[in-house]
């Protein structure tokens, strides 16, 4: 039954891809996403899949190169002053939005103010230290900060740095994401939910000589088998996420290329510790029960069984080999006997909870391995398979017990931890709050010395590991696969698919 279902899904996806293929296919890139993006609004968006689309749709003040160096994009330069509490940014001349309006300091001010004040903004905690935005001249903007903030430039390499058309902001309001207008290499054409997002080349793009494709069609395909089948059969040209189990198949296919890079992010389980009625009713709001659950898991077994050992098992949010990884937190032997003892001590020998997870094969396989291991300690883990954008909405609303999810990673550690675990953080859906963690994370934002920041993040990590509002499980690799007709693609550690320099040969 399962085999028949997968083949049927693949056949339907191939047929749809063929039906929507445009003439001149060599200039149209069809890119399969592992999930359907949430809102295409830089202020409110929070999914990796949305960030992949934004890479073509919305340029930022700054970007990162393949070595994670911060480089200008819509900006041309910057200067710090006043003890690093004032940042002056010089803007690129001649940039136009997709609606034809010129990008200037007024537009930058409006976009940043929207990130700071818009109801439901996911960017607010990322740039909350910005207390005033001043226009110096048409191509210069000055930001006044409430305190020195080391990660600010890094924040502007992602959605906080995306500048939107003032006319579209003012006219679209909360519906901006349905017709986004930015200043990227491709402009928005249409979106059909859970089917496709279509962009076409923007003729007035400031860096148009680097763009060689006429059209990009993003196709959400949560099932990894469907993605692979489409890639092998020619239904899509590029797969942004290849399941670990499919890597050998791609490598054996001479018509396909495979590119793998290390990831900056993490995957793990976020618990609802204090967000509304769901937290009050969930046994996982009890830190002792979370400790028992953690002890029931073997991360190495999870990695081997679910992913064939392709990933890195870990208990920390920062990947091994990066400056902020705490090696002492990496290993914790599985101890089912101790887990059972803790559950007896708290009077809940068989706690039951819902584990929300993206409705995709690799995520579900990981959830099933976790479910099986935890059962040996007495846990009844009820897997709740949910469409990805819906799972983000439910998490944001506090409608979950536990959420198996992840983060694609940012170049500065603040972007990987603050929003998730600082009191009031925009991604702190479980409403975790620890005054010590808050103080350490706040202080780490103000110091530039590497050793000092390592100490602060190390202390915060130890406190987080003791409370377990998140249980970090593993770090993935970014694995892209595409037809050999594609050339010029440069992979980045953030996992985003940048289309500058990408070409496609004809069939």
**Backbone phi and psi for residue 133, each to the nearest 5 degrees, phi listed first:** -125, 115
On whether both 280 and 344 belong to a single domain, the answer is: yes
Distance CA 445, CA 460 (A): 13
DSSP secondary structure letter of residue 273:
S
Examine the fold and report which residue of 109, 137, 167 is the final residue of a domain before the chain moves on: 167
Distance CA 475, CA 49 (A): 18
Nearest to 230 by CA among 481, 55, 35: 481
Distance CA 330, CA 319 (A): 10
pLDDT of residue 26: 54
Instruction: Tell whether 280 is covered by a domain.
Output: yes
Distance CA 171, CA 375 (A): 53
Please classify residue 57 by burial: count the beta carbons closer than 10 Å to its beta carbon, then call 0-12 exposed, 13-18 middle and 19+ buried: buried
SS (H, E, C) 8-29: HHHHHHHHHHHHHCCCCHHHEE
Instruction: Tell whether 416 is covered by a domain.
Output: yes
Q: Are 46 and 427 in contact (CB under 8 A)?
A: yes
Summarize pLDDT for 393-444 with one digit per residue, the tens: 999 999 999 999 999 999 999 999 999 999 999 999 999 999 999 999 999 9
Q: Are 137 and 120 in contact (CB under 8 A)?
A: no
Instruction: Tell whether 485 is covered by a domain.
Output: yes
Distance CA 221, CA 25 (A): 20
Q: Are 29 and 216 in contact (CB under 8 A)?
A: yes
Instruction: Tell whether 176 is covered by a domain.
Output: no
pLDDT of residue 330: 83
In terms of DSSP bridges, do strands 477-483 and 256-262 run parallel, antiparallel, or are they unpaired? Answer: antiparallel
Residue span of the structural domain in which 92 resides: 62-167
Instruction: Tell whether 179 is covered by a domain.
Output: no
On whether both 370 and 459 belong to a single domain, the answer is: yes
Distance CA 157, CA 502 (A): 21
380: Cβ–Cβ under 8 A, 6 or more apart, which residues? 350, 351, 352, 353
Instruction: Tell whether 382 is covered by a domain.
Output: yes
CATH number at residue 345: 3.10.105.10
On whether both 382 and 298 belong to a single domain, the answer is: yes
Beta bridge partners of 330: none
The structure tokens listed for 360 are 């995709």
472: Cβ–Cβ under 8 A, 6 or more apart, which residues? 266, 267, 268, 314, 315, 316, 317
Question: Between vectors from CA 179 to CA 106 and to CA 360, what angle results, nearest 5°?
Answer: 120
Instruction: Tell whether 173 is covered by a domain.
Output: no
Q: In the chain, which residues have pLDDT < 70?
A: 1-26
Beta bridge partners of 151: none
pLDDT of residue 506: 86
């Amino acid at each position: 039954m399962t085999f028949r279902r997968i083949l049927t899904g693949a056949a339907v996806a191939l047929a749809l891809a063929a039906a929507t293929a445009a003439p001149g296919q060599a200039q149209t890139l069809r890119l399969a996403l592992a999930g359907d993006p949430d809102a295409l609004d830089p202020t409110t968006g929070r999914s990796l899949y949305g960030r992949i689309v934004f890479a073509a749709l919305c340029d930022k003040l700054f970007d990162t190169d393949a070595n994670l160096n911060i480089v200008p994009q819509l900006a041309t330069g910057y200067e710090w002053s006043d003890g690093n509490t004032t940042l002056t940014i010089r803007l690129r001349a001649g940039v136009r939005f997709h609606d034809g309006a010129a990008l200037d300091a007024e537009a930058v001010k409006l976009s940043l103010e929207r990130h700071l004040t818009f109801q439901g903004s996911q960017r607010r905690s990322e740039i909350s230290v910005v207390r005033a935005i001043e226009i110096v001249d048409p191509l210069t903007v000055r930001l006044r900060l409430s305190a020195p903030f080391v990660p600010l430039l890094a924040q502007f390499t992602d959605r906080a740095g995306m500048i939107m058309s003032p006319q579209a902001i003012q006219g679209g309001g909360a519906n901006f994401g349905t017709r986004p207008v930015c200043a990227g290499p491709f402009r928005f054409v249409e979106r059909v939910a859970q089917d496709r997002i279509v962009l076409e080349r923007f003729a007035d793009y400031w860096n148009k000589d680097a763009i060689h494709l006429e059209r990009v069609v993003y196709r959400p395909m949560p099932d990894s088998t469907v993605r692979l089948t489409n890639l092998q059969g020619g239904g899509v040209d590029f797969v942004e996420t290849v399941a670990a189990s499919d890597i050998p198949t791609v490598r054996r296919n001479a018509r396909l290329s495979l590119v793998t890079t290390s990831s900056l992010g993490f995957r793990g389980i976020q618990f609802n510790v204090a967000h509304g009625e769901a937290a009050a009713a969930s046994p996982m709001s009890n830190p002792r029960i979370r400790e028992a659950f953690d002890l029931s898991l073997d991360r190495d077994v999870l990695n081997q069984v679910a992913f064939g050992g392709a990933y890195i098992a870990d208990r920390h949010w920062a990947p091994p080999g990066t400056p902020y990884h705490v090696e002492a937190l990496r290993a914790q032997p599985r101890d089912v006997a101790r887990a059972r003892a803790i559950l007896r001590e708290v009077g809940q020998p068989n706690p039951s909870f819902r584990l929300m997870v993206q409705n995709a094969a690799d995520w579900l396989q990981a959830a099933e391995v976790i479910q099986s291991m935890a059962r040996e300690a007495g846990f009844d883990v009820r897997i709740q398979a949910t469409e990805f954008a819906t799972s983000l909405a439910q998490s944001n609303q506090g409608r979950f017990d536990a959420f198996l999810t992840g983060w694609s990673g940012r170049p500065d550690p603040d972007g990987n931890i603050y929003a998730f675990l600082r009191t009031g953080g925009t991604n702190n859906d479980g409403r975790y709050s620890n005054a010590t963690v808050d103080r350490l994370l706040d202080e780490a934002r103000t110091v530039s010395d590497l050793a000092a920041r390592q100490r602060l993040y190390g202390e915060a990590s130890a406190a987080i590991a003791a409370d377990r509002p998140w249980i970090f499980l593993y770090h993935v690799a970014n694995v892209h696969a595409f037809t050999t007709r594609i050339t010029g693609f440069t992979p980045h550690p953030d996992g985003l698919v940048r289309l500058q320099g990408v070409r496609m040969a004809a069939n």
